Amino acid sequence: ARCQCKLLPRERRNCGYPGISALECAKAGCCFNTSVPGVPWCFAPKAKKVRKVCPSDPNVRINCGFPGITAKECERKGCCFRAYPAGVPWCFYHRTVEE
């Protein structure tokens, strides 16, 4: 993403080699910016920010528990717990979402 390439020049970590083209840099999954002399022009992007969320759609829940699991047992496993609706897992895995 474009925002991953917004780094201060001093924060840039080299991701290429002298004379690398913008296309080759992009193919390597890196950022390319020639506007600041004396720093890497092909550089590693910022890490993506991710967070765990409990899915709101009951139909996409992936079972993390067993019949009769309690909320406390489920949460100890690091999973989400919602005792509704019937017919879907009540103890289920988080989803990872990019911010």
What is residue 52's three-state secondary structure? strand
94 in the same domain as 54:
yes
Q: Which two tokens stand for residue 23?
A: 């296309």
30 in the same domain as 7:
yes
pTM value is 0.53
Question: φ, ψ for residue 5 (rounded to 5)?
Answer: -100, 0
Q: What is the pLDDT of residues 9-19, one digit of tens each?
A: 999 999 999 99
List the domain range (segments joined by +) for residue 80: 50-98
62 in the same domain as 35:
no
54 in the same domain as 43:
no
60 in the same domain as 33:
no
41 in the same domain as 10:
yes
77 in the same domain as 38:
no
58 in the same domain as 36:
no
Q: What is the pLDDT of residues 50-99, one digit of tens each?
A: 889 999 999 999 999 999 999 999 999 999 999 999 999 999 999 988 76
Total domain count, the chain = 2
42-43 and 31-32 as β-strands: parallel, antiparallel, unpaired? antiparallel
For residue 11, what is the domain's CATH number?
4.10.110.10
